[in-house]
């Protein structure tokens, strides 16, 4: 079993829809959880970051972590065509040298 | 402007011909990494460096070499490229104890 599994996609939604992107992970030692966004022909950039369980909101984006079920989610409200990108979840252990483990990524397309 | 630069952006080469992909960051980051991104496999770490002259293997180091003689530069060396190293490569940098990795724009490598 891969350490981080992500819904394969692709996902296509109409503008204004609520989008739910999900990942699961296998190692309960993971403590830090991130979502990176990658536009076509660009490198990934950090979108959201959470530590341990709970929710974090930033504008139209909400990141949610449920450590009891090892589930990571990203919700996008009022989705826009500019949200069309590949979204990668990532996680790591505690520790300065701990590396990031990425999900495979899901490509989201928001139709005008 | 804070950035990670990679060169070349695109490269087509033949099996066995040594090549180097350069990476440079202007943010004085201690940590630098190389990733490859393949369809269906996501981002996988090749090598990382915690500081000058300190490097370590990531998940898929076979066939690659790196060096870190200066803090800002972290070149990726393929001594004898093979077709299975055809991929999209990303360099990234970050400070210790942070999860904001800054990625370069990517290098698309094709090995014939």
Say whether pLDDT at A84 is over 70.
yes
Give the DSSP per-residue string, B3-49. -EEEE-SEEEE-TT--EEEEEEESS--SEEEEEEEETTTEEEEEEEE
Q: Is A104 on the interface with B (CB under 8 A)?
A: yes
| pLDDT tens, residue order, chain B (112 aa) | 889 999 999 999 999 999 999 999 999 999 999 999 998 888 999 999 999 999 999 999 999 999 999 999 999 999 999 999 999 999 999 988 777 889 999 999 999 9
In chain A, residues 22-81 whose CB comes closer than 8 Å to chain B: 32, 34, 36, 41-46, 49
For B14-34, write each residue's pLDDT tens digit.
Answer: 999 999 999 999 999 999 999
Contacts of B92 in chain A (CB under 8 A): 43
Q: Which residue has the tokens 């449920």?
A: A66
Mean pLDDT, to the nearest integer, of A27-39?
92
- In angstroms, how far is CA A90 from the centroid of its own chain? 7
Taking an 8 Å cut-off on Cβ atoms, the answer to whether B58 and A99 are in contact is yes
Size of interface A-B (CB pairs under 8 A): 49
Residue B44: the pLDDT is 94
Residue B66: the pLDDT is 97
Q: How close A32 gets to chain B, by Cα (Å)?
A: 8
Q: Which carries the bigger pLDDT value, residue A14 or residue A51? A: A14
The tokens of A77 are what?
């409200």
């Amino acid at each position: 079993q891969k350490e981080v599994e992500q819904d394969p996609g692709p996902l296509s939604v109409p503008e204004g829809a609520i989008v739910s992107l999900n990942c699961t992970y296998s190692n309960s030692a993971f403590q830090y959880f991130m979502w990176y966004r990658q536009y076509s022909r660009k490198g990934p950039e950090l979108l959201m970051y959470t530590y341990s369980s709970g929710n974090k909101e930033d504008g139209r984006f909400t990141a949610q972590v449920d450590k009891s079920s090892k589930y990571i989610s990203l919700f996008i409200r009022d989705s826009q065509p500019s949200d069309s990108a590949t979204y990668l979840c990532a996680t790591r252990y505690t520790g300065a040298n701990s590396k990031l483990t990425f999900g495979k990524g899901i490509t989201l397309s928001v139709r005008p | 402007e804070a950035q990670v630069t990679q060169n070349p952006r695109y490269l087509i080469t033949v099996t066995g011909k040594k090549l180097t992909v350069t990476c440079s960051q202007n943010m004085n980051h201690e940590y630098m990494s190389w990733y490859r991104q393949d369809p269906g496999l996501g981002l996988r770490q090749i090598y990382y460096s915690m500081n000058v002259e300190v490097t370590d293997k990531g998940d898929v180091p076979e066939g690659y070499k790196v060096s870190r003689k200066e803090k800002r530069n972290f070149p990726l060396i393929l001594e004898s490229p093979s077709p299975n190293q055809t991929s999209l490569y990303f360099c990234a940098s970050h400070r210790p104890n942070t999860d904001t990795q800054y990625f370069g724009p990517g290098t698309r490598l094709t090995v014939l």
